[in-house]
Amino acid sequence: MRVVIAHCSVDYEGRLSAHLPPATRLLMVKADGCVAIHSDGGAYKPLNWMNAPNRLVEVDRTWVVTNPKGERLTIKLEEVFSDTSHDLGVDPGLRKDGVEAHLQELLAAAPTAIADDLRLVRREYPTDIGPVDLLCRDSEGRAVAIEVKRRGEIDGVEQLTRYLDRLDQDATLRPVRGIFVAQVVKPQARVLAASRGIDCVEVDYDELRGIERDELTLF
Here the CATH number for the domain that contains residue 75 is 2.70.180.20
Which value, in Å, is the radius of gyration of the alpha carbons in the chain?
20
Q: Would residue 23 count as lying in a domain?
A: yes
Residue 162 phi, psi dihedral angles, 5° rounding: -65, -40
Q: Would residue 197 count as lying in a domain?
A: yes
- Asked which of 56, 85, 114 is the last residue of a domain, the reply is 85
What single-letter amino acid sits at 17?
S
pTM: 0.57
What is the number of domains present in the chain?
2
User: What is the Cα 170 distance to its own chain's centre?
Assistant: 16
Host domain of residue 12: 2-85
Are 74 and 112 members of one domain?
no
- Asked which of 30, 56, 85 is the last residue of a domain, the reply is 85
Question: d(Cα 157, Cα 165) in Å, to the nearest integer?
Answer: 12
- Asked which of 53, 85, 117 is the last residue of a domain, the reply is 85
Q: Would residue 91 count as lying in a domain?
A: no
List the strands of the sheet with 119-125, edge to edge: 119-125, 132-137, 143-152, 177-185, 199-202
Which pLDDT belongs to residue 116? 92
Which pLDDT belongs to residue 214? 47
pLDDT along the chain (219 residues), means of 10: 96 90 95 90 83 90 92 96 88 61 89 93 90 94 94 92 93 94 93 94 86 46
